[in-house]
Structure 1
């Protein structure tokens, strides 16, 4: 059978789970809700590229809700027209709430009724979710749904650009020490996209009860007794630390006043909290820069200050970002997943702290926990059988995932199943969204492998049985795809290292091929060895290997405040190992990277002449210029990123002046001997200026360089229009083909 090559056309036809939208199983376990989307790009962006002009969050474009029969695998679409995502079953399983957008109408709420199999749109309920995990929340009685709404007109500071009496157009930002400043009126991060009203919608009448107006919310959860809803309200940030703070606030559903019960909670996404089943308490975690994650419990009536359950003097290795604490069904235990197991606190009617017992159930195997097997929208813990929890863990040597069941009373563990497939993992390492459990012994997960995209699988813990429920891309069996393998090597400091290698579909053992090395400083890239295509940073890996190139992505750990000098420590030995294995042609090695990978690319080129060509996309090449990037509202666009974030400088430009220069590849472009293609999106703040500076420098130094700015695009090519993405692919391959060709004169 002749297979078709994997091209941009193949990519645009692929279906995949909608980013971060959780699976949801009906209460009877018979039907599974899945939000999927194909890669075809469309829609005009507004604001910070957050939404289309019809109100669809950018990552949800082309999404649709599927209803999968868990017995037969049959698929239905409850919202067949237009875009739909975020579907959630009502508590009794009689209805589904989802976000929908049809035609030129704005995105709104829709309810599908199981008995009639008909959906009802609520066009006056204009919704404003930002991330995929911001799904509609049903009240416990199933009579109402709580959703984020398009915000009421905000109260803002005066527009900084004004016209004077003489007709001059001038932008003014003013700052007086000790006084509020003019400008910097918005919270940092994607806060403008978080802004919303919170509403409760009566399903029968469509009546809207406004619960909060013009707030910044990501997580909202109704109390089990149906009396109130808890939200983490984003209220403050420390830009120098890239730290966000939230107030845990209770909003009454009967019209009473709101109440803040915990203030300034540091979290990344504002979703790590859960109600106790008796509605008396809330447990939450904190994620503070430079500190260990911590666990607190607070009374819902606000009668006492939050009480810490964790040990602030030790590293409890709690997993953060999106994994929330879970309660036992009787409200006496709290559980938190950790890197090597699970913590349990026993709280008897919330006695004094000295009477709270704490224990750690740890894994004895070498596996590292990446999450536990729990329903992403539930606040109570799910036991696979009495006294047993199941976690997902990764083997650090093989990178394969295992289901490990832990007996809480004894700490005994058993591996239920090992997977060569990799759990579907959206950006930022958030992996919890795409797993779901039944009330019995079954779990549903979305998995993928380097040679096939995402599929839905069912796992039965008691029978140690696994099976595919649904393939999202059956037509891919007719397409040629590459397969991956792990490469082991020794870093320059003697430490063991791993790299993921994706080989062309036609690769034959013993054949030397051109290799493209994709880099991203600080990332453990080998963890993606089982991802479909391994990477999509610049272009999809399967498109690349179908052009005859191999794709290598080595681990690149960083420490301290001198990233530039550390980047070659793993990259160069990984390439040497691939040459020694007889796979890489040493005369045809290319380099590319996106975002911090773009920085890493140009930084590496200042240290080695190994590469025949390079592509740097959306990078920051001058940390001094990055530090002084002024946002459109007067905010410090990248100051925190430079000082305490990914820039890794550890202080201000004045405190660390030499480090800012020494770690900026722009100041060492005279050492570059490799032809460089610089790519950026015109709407990516600061990126065009950074790429232009690198272009000017390399041109002045008489180096081969090309600058391509896609005017209407943002930071990541994965969201670019089809036309621009196709042009990007064509130009990248043209660049590598030109410079990695064998020297026929040798």
Structure 2
């Protein structure tokens, strides 16, 4: 008996060794970072175009110099991944890959065009620039050797000075806000004397245990959650902050209240009260910090407790539906047009949108001194999405319902709570009939208020102006009486010109960002009156002139069921169809779900947009002789209550077939040399198309998810769980059909992917399945990269991989056998 048992164990071991040998027989190699061919690397190395921001008084335009992509060394700095956040322990702020660092600022006078650079310390880099309420100063957070410092630049003198030592705690964001009167700032600081960070013991004190006692808890797959007691200790250490009021006059720092894990803090418009959200234990190992138990409370500006608004428990039992929400007060904020009045929403359906009730949300108000009962402002049959405040008798409330993509904009009279007037109802995916978004202006306290027309009968709006002929942004006025929008100014061909801000209180002049197919984006100011001449405010150059000869056009075509589709066709510089004939082509796409076929069919010509690639853009392949069909429409439509994903594969294949037929019929693409690619959900699409069609010679799938059983509580626009839609999950998973993939596929994934659902194991397991099925597949993992790749070395290597893959398996591939 013992011999038989031993023999079985030996045979099992031999089988395991054989399996391991087979598993490692494919090529595995340590690579060095590669550089893509010219001119891709040269474009990536060129300086970034500055960003701009208009001051609240509309007199100044700040130009913010932007750093180029960080090095892999910078991206590889120590990172702590705690409760859904990634932080740099050196700075107690965001990691390199999450921060868009700036390295210069200059103030430009809008009236004269004079530009005055602000002198900063050598090598300075900063984040989180913010205007003072009156526009006289700009604050920002500067990276110092031992942490983050708060600085302020003065517009009048064009000088900057340090306001705090490196004590800013920016784990939750910028780490500061202006006081309403501009006399100082409210800063979240590192707790003085906090000591050294906790050190993990090498000897465990016991197992890590999680337990659920009969509560339904359909939780989506989150990244970077806490995993043990040491993570909890690190979270407490780095995320605890002390609110501090810092005076600009003398630099005096005054602590406010007690330290805590303060996720947010805001001051009432009158400067008398403070609203805070504090996280507390028990923490969770399944959900991020925004779902931890939370106390929302009001104190005096000096930190004395006044009113507890909400004591929310751990929100780990929400229904999986997208409009699901926690019970009790949520979205608590100050009413911008009142001295000190709180506004919040509360679900009336238990937080479950699937319940059939007349009222899903109610909105409440409570004014200082916060001792009375809350006043109900309005009941809603959709989910509350926010209020834009205007004046005592007018505000604009927005509600939405995800299941139908429906939106309402409701006029309310805050002085007469209880009802509202629906100004418009729309499908918020409908681009053609978008009435525009209301324009706001900042008052003396820095609060954003609706910008009314001089007659008080309308509010100004900025709209995208989408149509089949193109997108031509506009300035308009929306009547308070009926919600109808009248256009006052609109961009005209050949320009795409988007309003950035009104340049005067009466709305007679506007600052715009103008571009065309040939003109790089720059900022202008001109009168709203028709025919007014525009005055340039900036003259930023084209950072990639090598791209100037590329041509593009929006093409439209029909799906087999009659749905109109579109995409942007790019052709390389110097291409001549008569001489050069059909080209190898890359189709790069990302599916989208709709509830209305007519909305899904909308197409907008992009011929007036200035296109230059950056980062890991697939458009760089145009420099290598490829045509690209960019963002071809891949609608997945569910009408009359049907779930779109129940026919996902069928619609995906129909979308792809229509796109391929269109570019081949135009004579610009060789049917035998077309590839498909995408990032994230586009990678998922790519794998599915290779599994269910032979339309493509190869595929490129970056940072995707391929096995939906690993995201069992919903993904993308799917709100049902795996057990509610098992067949759909199975059919949508390309992992299920790995043996069907006969064409080469390139898998790229960041080793530190932080996106919900696209854990690196998705690509790892998909690669194993493809390799086991005998597919031609290459699997590249990028060290220390998240869902989007940031390091210059990673960016260049990704583009090198894409070019090499396309050259080998598409451009230079032998003719494929007839199928």
Common topology (TM > 0.5):
yes
Q: 1:177 aligns with which of 196, 213, 219?
A: 213
Of residues 522, 533, 545 in structure 1, which corresponds to 2:592?
Answer: 522
Assess, with a 3 A threshold, how the Cα gap between structure 1 residues 706 and 509 changes in structure 2: closer, same or farther: same
1:394, distance to aligned residue in structure 2 (A):
3.7
Residue 100, structure 1, aligned to residue 142, structure 2: yes
What RMSD over aligned residues (CA atoms) do the two structures have, in Å?
A: 4.5
Matched, 1:589 2:649: no
CA–CA distance in 2 between the matches of 1:413 and 1:295?
28
Q: Does 1:80 align with 2:126?
A: no
- The CA deviation at 1:735 is 0.5
Give per-residue Cα distances to partners, 1:628-659, cap 9 Å, x unaligned: xxxxxxxxxxxxxx4234172611x4444443
In the TM superposition, residue 680 of structure 1 has moved relative to its aligned partner by 1.0
Residue of structure 1 aligned with 2:261, choices 215, 220, 227: 215
SS in 2 for 1:539: coil
Q: Is the 8 A contact 2:130 2:140 kept in 1?
A: yes
Equivalent runs, 1:64-79 vs 2, <5 Å: 64-78=104-118
Unaligned runs of 5+ in 1: 425-431, 628-641
In structure 1, C-alpha distance between the alignment counterparts of 2:469 and 2:279, rounded to whole Å: 40
**Pairwise CA distance, 1:615:** 1.0
Residue of structure 1 equivalent to 2:339? 279
For residues 99 and 522 of structure 1, the distance between their equivalents in structure 2, rounded to whole angstroms, comes to 37
Contact 1:83 1:101 in 2 (8 A): yes
2: CA distance between counterparts of 1:282 and 1:411?
Answer: 26
Q: 1:417·1:464 contact (CA, 8 Å) conserved in 2?
A: no
Name the CA distance, whole Å, in 1 between partners of 2:147 and 2:353.
Answer: 42
- 2:246 corresponds in structure 1 to 201
Rounded Cα–Cα distance in structure 1 between residues aligned with 2:611 and 2:374: 46
* Equivalent-residue separation in structure 2 for 1:38 and 1:498 (angstroms): 35
CA distance in 2, matches of 1:232, 1:698: 47
CA distance, structure 1, for counterparts of residue 479 and residue 132 of structure 2: 32
Separation in structure 2 between the aligned mates of residue 492 and residue 148 of structure 1, nearest angstrom = 57
Aligned to 1:637: none
Asked which structure has the greater CA Rg, the reply is 2
Q: Which moved more, 1:523-532 or 1:277-286?
A: 523-532
1:373 is the counterpart of 2:442: no
C-alpha distance in structure 2 between counterparts of 1:604 and 1:242, whole Å:
37
Cα gap change, 1:289 to 1:35, in 2 (>3 Å): farther
- Which blocks of at least 5 consecutive residues in structure 2 are unaligned? 1-36, 218-224, 313-323, 400-405, 594-599
Q: CA 1:56–1:69 in structure 2 vs 1: closer, same or farther (change >3 Å)?
A: farther
| 8 Å contact from structure 2 (residues 278, 296) kept in 1 | yes
CA contact (8 A) 1:451 1:484 kept: no
Secondary structure of the residue aligned to 1:602 is helix
Change (3 A) 1:130 1:7: farther
Deviation of 1:675 (Å): 0.3
Residue 703 of structure 1 is matched in structure 2 by 775
The aligned counterpart of 1:226 is 271
Change (3 A) 1:598 1:447: farther
The Cα shift of 1:589 comes to: 0.9
| Residues 200 and 568 (structure 1), Cα distance of their counterparts in 2 relative to 1, 3 Å cut | farther
Aligned to 2:59: 30
Contact 1:517 1:589 in 2 (8 A): yes
State which drifts further: 46-55 or 733-742. Answer: 46-55
Report if aligned partners of 1:606, 1:672 keep a CA contact under 8 Å in 2: yes
Q: Residue 444 of structure 1 is aligned with which of 498, 511, 535?
A: 511
Q: 1:241 to 1:128 in 2, by over 3 A?
A: closer
Contact residue 16 and residue 454 of structure 1 kept, 8 A: no
Q: 1:136 touches 1:146 (CA, 8 Å); kept in 2?
A: yes
Q: With structure 2 as the length reference, what TM-score do the two structures score?
A: 0.72
CA 1:138–1:541 in 2, change beyond 3 Å: closer, same or farther?
A: same
Q: What's the CA shift for 1:701?
A: 1.7
Alignment of 1:447-596 (within 5 A): 454-458=521-525, 460-462=527-529, 465=532, 466-477=534-545, 479-480=547-548, 482-508=550-576, 511-522=581-592, 529=606, 533=611, 539-552=616-629, 553-558=631-636, 559=638, 560=643, 561-562=645-646, 563-596=648-681
8 A contact 2:353–2:360 mirrored in 1: no
Mapped pair 1:124 → 2:165: yes
**Cα distance in 1, alignment partners of residues 181 and 562 from structure 2:** 61
Q: Which region of structure 1 is more displaced relative to structure 2, 669-678 or 567-576?
A: 567-576
Q: In the TM superposition, what is the alpha-carbon distance from 1:438 to its structure 2 partner?
A: 4.3
Q: How many residues align?
A: 689
